[in-house]
Structure 1
Amino acid sequence: MSTTVPVAVRSPNAPAVAAAAYVLSWIAGLLLAPAAPERDAPPAEIAGFYADSGPAVVSSALLVHGTAGLALAGLTIGLARVTGVRGGLRRAVVGIGITAAALSLLQFALAVTAVVGEHAATTSRTLLLAIDFVDVLKIALLAAFAAVATTAAARAGAAARWLQVTAAVLVLLLLVGSAALVGVDALVPVLEISLLLLLAWAAAVGYLVARSARSQTRPQPAPGA
């Protein structure tokens, strides 16, 4: 199978570094996240949550949405460059990945807006629902990104069969699990599993693409050496 990885790739480790930053940001942010009220909680309860847990909300959002969004953008650019894909696939990888990263940063901005200043209780609830709505859109894009990024890695000869199967399962779980964000509580476990699998996939694709690029750029011994 032919590869599209160039003979010399600048920063071949970029995908692995960005993937590690993405995973670590997510994990740290989840550890700091306070228990949020239910989406159908009274507006006064939601407003009280943002008032009482403001620092924790911002700290968690900074990691889960802010730095993770920047890391996702870095992973997107790194994968596009290191795999060397061209044409429509490259545009899909970059377009989908950067859009998902932008939505993640928007979620951070919404979280900060919900905490900073004084708002009517109904406004606080609207902001909470807006964050969840953006999350649904972002998860759909992350599912698409997993599909196109894995395809790019496969064309570069860097995606083992198990990674391609993992990506296919991940896409399905993300799309089904996202319904939990719009009130389908029975699918919360599916969402949680899909997010864990997303982190595992991101770490794997970043590492495998970087490893493939390093092997392609390793100096070859001179004939007869």
Structure 2
Amino acid sequence: MHADFQRILTWRLLAGSHPFPGPDGGTCINEAALVAAGLPYEAIRSSADCPPCFSRPIAAYALGLNDAMPDAARPQLMAFVLRLSGSADRPEVEAARTRCLALESVRQILAPLCAAAGMAGHAQACAGASDLSSALAAAKAAAWRGGALAQAASRARRWRAGALTAAVARTATAALRAAEDARCAAEVAEGAAPFVPDTWARACAVLDRTLGVGRQAPEIDPVGARVRLDAARAAVATA
């Protein structure tokens, strides 16, 4: 790994938007990407606040993960800081990215959650979905079954089983919405994370896979990015 990129990874990410980075970073992933790319800094509260050169579905997913991740997991997103600016593409490509987020969230995140809940058949259907249509059908079935199992567990006072199957129902419902709204794909990860230990790593793999769809961001020199990030820190420290 390039030494300057290793230093970039020390930038601290926080949930929410921020008026300007603190001395140790203190921004969301999209705000950090602005600084790294040399773009004017601005607080980003939603993907709509990103410059037009940012892919909207990718920015929405990254921001959703940023806000949902616990502090210990959030630094994983810094691996993507040089890949966001310049990622915007044609409307049909952006739509394909949204579909990719939904499909991979079902395959990679909803599937292991179903397995953790003892819903082996639903886990297999989610993991083996060949396209978005079959993924959404699997998610719909998981949502219905998870809800039914949660109700039964509640009646039997089986609280952990009820919490787990209720999480399946909520997470599967988020996966259904993700086909139209990329930020809902982050809700899939948020719902699974308490029950599937490697969920955030899986969510980052989904982001990586989606960034591979369509136009790739132009290469940003890690040295220049590190200098800009360090300058932002220094400006705050001396203000």
- TM-score normalised over the length of structure 2: 0.31
- TM-score normalised over the length of structure 1: 0.32
